[in-house]
Structure 1
Amino acid sequence: MELKNAVVVVTGANRGLGRHLAAQLVERGAKVYGTARRPETIDVPGVIPLRVDVTDERSVQAAARAAADATLLINNAGMSTGASLAAGDLDAVRLEMETNFFGPLAATRAFAPVIEGNGGGAVLNVLSVLSWLHPAALGSYAATKAAAWALTNATRQELEPRGIAVSALHVAYMDTDMAADVPADRKTDPAGVARQALDGIEAGLSEILADETTRAVKGNLSASLNATA
């Protein structure tokens, strides 16, 4: 998919990876709608701000009406509470699932008819190395990303006949607010991740693995649990 003259909706475009994606899309000649719960926090020149809370389906539907010319949806908005599954706060677990799974699902359902009506296009879901690696301390977040991986794979098959390609971006720690407590030498530059993601969309990749950690974990999926514990 060519990004020049594409019409792109980026959720969570006010900071972190989403902000880099929005800025680079503008540089590549795309028309960009950026969403956030507080649209006034979107400060990327050339980006059209939209108020969206991905846990509120009505706001997602309103965004689909406002961005009626969209040809690409990037489901980037996400959050982590650090909740564990066996002992963590259940409301926190539910909030993560509402944001990281049901949010992309709602956006995909809302924008698929729009993208199809505009002649086809693509959806990119921002996932994680934790789609495949499930540490107990981040059990809730990992569960949401595993579910979003399944969502990505299933909707890829469902939407392909409608002219919509569905891709996944998998990445480990990035230098963003969400990973503020992670040592700097373990984090990648979100600007570089954004560049890889957009290059992957243009190349028609179904899966984009943005760093060595992610590639190593994906390559080890066939190992036994005892070998990787």
Structure 2
Amino acid sequence: MQIKDAVVFITGANRGLGLEFAKQALARGAKKVYAAARDVSTITLPGVVPVQLDVTKPEQAAAAARACGDVTLLINNAGIGRVGGIASDNAETVLREQLETNLYGIFHVARAFAPVLGRNGGGAILNMLSILSWVNTPMLGAYGVSKAAAWALTNSLRAELAPQGTLVAGFHGGFIDTDMIRDFEVPKARPEDVVRQSLDEIEQGAVEITVDDSTRQVKKALSDGVYLMDPMAAH
């Protein structure tokens, strides 16, 4: 599909990658860009249509789909990241919180908008995943579990929505220079670069988008049957 003249709905569009997706969609000539966030007062980008949406609330996702019935591209960007593994004292709390947004958030919004996309010719869904969908690290263990589950959900959606002509793509990347990881002293990709590549690949019909060398190396290693204990070993 082409971004030009598309109607784009972006969750978590008030900052970080979501904001960058909104900017670039407008720059590419999208007919309309819906920018969704829990607090619409935080959406200040000129040219977008603000939408109040907490992705953990299925009734709000359904209301957004009813109100935005012209959508042709859904970008499930909203997500949270919490430091912590799955063997720590507070692991259950940390894991449940991230599953609610990173897994069930995608589930609620994709489920609500799938019929909309079908009625509008198929369109596309882009789910924001991670290098940690495929490998994990103790520092972000619970986050990795949520992203691995979201990858499995993405694969299921792709198979189920193919008959209606909907492309379902997954974004996989390492550390990106956004507020979520501002305190991490690691090499980071630029948001504008990964968003530009993602939109290019959506237009080309890609189903798995790997936006940096580390992620591509991890994918190749796993395809070759090599298990990586630490994803950063790909650097």
TM-score (norm 2): 0.93
Q: How many residues align?
A: 228
Alpha-carbon distance in structure 2 between the residues aligned to 1:47 and 1:216: 36
Q: 1:165 to 1:226 in 2, by over 3 A?
A: closer
- What is the CA-CA distance between 1:83 and the residue it aligns to? 2.5
Residue 88 (structure 2) pairs with residue 87 (structure 1): yes
Gaps of 5+ in 2: none
Shift of 1:88: 4.6
In the TM superposition, what is the alpha-carbon distance from 1:82 to its structure 2 partner?
A: 1.2
3-state DSSP of counterpart to 2:112: helix
Partner residue, 1:21? 21
* 1:108–1:10 Cα change, 3 Å: same
Indicate how the Cα distance of structure 1 residues 197 and 88 shifts in structure 2: closer, same or farther if over 3 A, else same.
farther
Residue 207 of structure 2 is matched in structure 1 by 206
Instruction: State the Cα distance separating 1:137 from its structure 2 match.
Output: 1.7
Q: What's the offset of the Cα at 1:208?
A: 0.8
Residues 1:9 and 1:226: Cα distance change in structure 2 (over 3 Å): closer
* Amino acid of the structure 2 residue aligned with 1:95: E
For the pair 1:97 / 2:99, whether they are aligned, the reply is yes
Q: Deviations over 1:181-215 (max 9, x none)?
A: 1226x001001111011001101001111001111
Specify the SS of the correspondent of 1:220. helix
What's 1:12 paired with?
12
Equivalent pair of 2:136/2:230 in contact (CA under 8 Å) = no
Deviations 1:85-108 (A, max 9, x none): 111522221110010001001111
CA distance in 2, matches of 1:158, 1:74: 18
Tell me by how many angstroms 1:220 deviates.
1.0
- Aligned position for 1:164: 166
Q: What's the secondary structure of 2:199's corresponding residue?
A: helix
Q: CA RMSD in A?
A: 1.6
**1: CA distance, partners of 2:190 / 2:117:** 30
Rounded Cα–Cα distance in structure 2 between residues aligned with 1:140 and 1:78 = 13
Q: Is the 8 A contact 2:126 2:170 kept in 1?
A: yes
Letter of the structure 2 residue corresponding to residue 191 of structure 1:
E
Partner letter of residue 53 of structure 1? D
Q: Secondary structure at the match of 1:141?
A: helix
Give the distance between the partners of 1:163 and 1:227, measured in 2 at CA: 37
Partner of residue 46, structure 2:
45
2:35 aligned counterpart, secondary structure: strand
Equivalent residue, structure 1, for 2:74 = 73
Which consecutive residues of structure 1, in runs of 5 or more, have no partner in the other structure? Answer: none
Tell me, in whole angstroms, the C-alpha distance in 1 between the residues paired with 2:145 and 2:5. Answer: 36
Counterpart of 1:108 in structure 2 is: 110
Runs of 4+ in 1 over 3 A off after TM superposition: 224-229
TM-score (norm 1): 0.96
The AA in structure 1 aligned to 2:154 is T
List per-residue Cα deviations over 1:49-85 (Å, max 9, x = no partner): 1000011111111111111100111000000121311
Q: Give the Cα separation in 1 of the matches to 2:29 and 2:206.
A: 20
Residues 88 and 50 (structure 1 numbering): CA distance in 2 closer, same or farther, change over 3 Å?
Answer: farther
Give the aligned partner of residue 138 of structure 1. Answer: 140
In the aligned structure 2, how far is the partner of 1:135 from the partner of 1:43?
A: 36
Report the alpha carbon displacement of residue 224 of structure 1 after superposing the two structures with TM.
3.9
1:3 aligns with 2:3: yes
Q: Give the match's secondary structure for 1:168.
A: strand
CA shift, 1:225, in A, is 5.8
Q: In structure 1, how many angstroms separate the alpha carbons of the residues matched to 2:138 and 2:229?
A: 16
